[in-house]
A and B are shown apart, each in its own frame.
Chain A
Amino acid sequence: MALWGMVIDLDRCTGCQACVMACKAENNVPAVGQKEAERGRIISWMQVLTETDEEHHSEKMRFIPRPCLQCDDPPCTKVCPVYATYRNPEGIIAQIYNRCIGCRFCMAACPYNAKYFNWYTYQKEKPGQNPDVSVREKGVVEKCTFCHHRLQKARERAHAEKREIEPGEYNTACAQACPAQAIIFGDLADPGSEVSKLARSPRAFKLQEELGTKPKVIYLTEGEGGG
């Protein structure tokens, strides 16, 4: 079975936020408005975190695009009281919006702050949205799903044509949109895939690897000379 994963090359990332916008459009992520944004309630499944290098103070900034890291040992699914978030067999952490009771325990447990809450009813279904992705109601938690609806579509197409999913047939919106090609998506279970090769690079590292969450989003650190 496939094990979907992502490699993000920080050497290539320019912090342009194209991935963020592509994700918002693809997944019907609501725009919360200025007032709510000022209160710290922006929903951004893909969020570009900025880290200042402590050695060089503010001289050096690092952009870390952070989707849900789809941990293989996720701290968030353990604590869910109602099975509204779980790891599916292909390694994607699913959210069941219609079951979530909004206790926000998964948000408190996620060491990457990848989970977001609908504090109000931020949007209703309307034309112009992506019809493949459901619109979330108030009071539930949501997060990046590796554009899971695209996997379902690709799988259905392949099934109809009686073949396996080809490499590259299933890609996430952020990877597609990145102008610097810093985001590469694919099957980590296939050792020949591009993600697998990049994941074995000596530059590869994982966020908070010491926590043992086994994230399937792997970062490539900046090259020796560059920044």
Chain B
Amino acid sequence: MERERSDWDRMVKNLQWAIAGVFVLFVGGLIIWIIHLIRTAWWLGDVPSASIGISLVAIPVFLVLLGVVLYVFWGLLTHQREE
């Protein structure tokens, strides 16, 4: 019974961290994509200023989003019991 319970908890925990991992990948992917667009624009001489300007706003926004999500995941998952 005890073993079953801890197996279940472990699975739940793994899945929860997996969601956090997916989110990291998602935001990471978006940032890599934006950088890729800057690089393409740079190579082609195709108004790189537009991509740089937008990325200056977009990348920090996505990073803040990532920060909030990780803060919640970390905070909630590591403080399930009252200290």
Contact = CB atoms under 8 A, between A and B. Distances in A.
Interface in A158-203: none
Contacts of A83: 40, 44, 46
Contacts of B46: 83, 86
Interface in A80-106: 83, 86
A83 B37 CA distance: 11
In this complex, the interface size class of chain A, counting residues with CB under 8 Å from chain B, is under 10
Contacts of B44: 83
Contacts of B40: 83
A99 to B, nearest CB: 13
A86 B46 CA distance: 9
Interface residues of B, number: 3
Interface string A62-86: 0000000000000000000001001
Interface in A125-161: none
B37 to A, nearest CB: 11
A64 to B, nearest CB: 32
A214 B48 CA distance: 23
A108 to B, nearest CB: 19
B3 to A, nearest CB: 55
Interface string B35-48: 00000100010100
Contacts of A86: 46
Nearest to B50: A78
A90 B40 CA distance: 21
A9 to B, nearest CB: 36
A83 B46 CA distance: 9
Interface in B1-53: 40, 44, 46
Interface in B47-70: none
A33 B21 CA distance: 55
A152 to B, nearest CB: 21
A180 B31 CA distance: 58
A86 B40 CA distance: 14
A4 B64 CA distance: 50
A73 to B, nearest CB: 13
A83 B51 CA distance: 14
A83 B44 CA distance: 10
Interface of B: 40, 44, 46
Give me the 4 closest cross-chain CB pairs, A-B, nearest first.
Answer: A83-B46, A83-B44, A86-B46, A83-B40
Interface of A: 83, 86
4 contacts: A83-B40, A83-B44, A83-B46, A86-B46
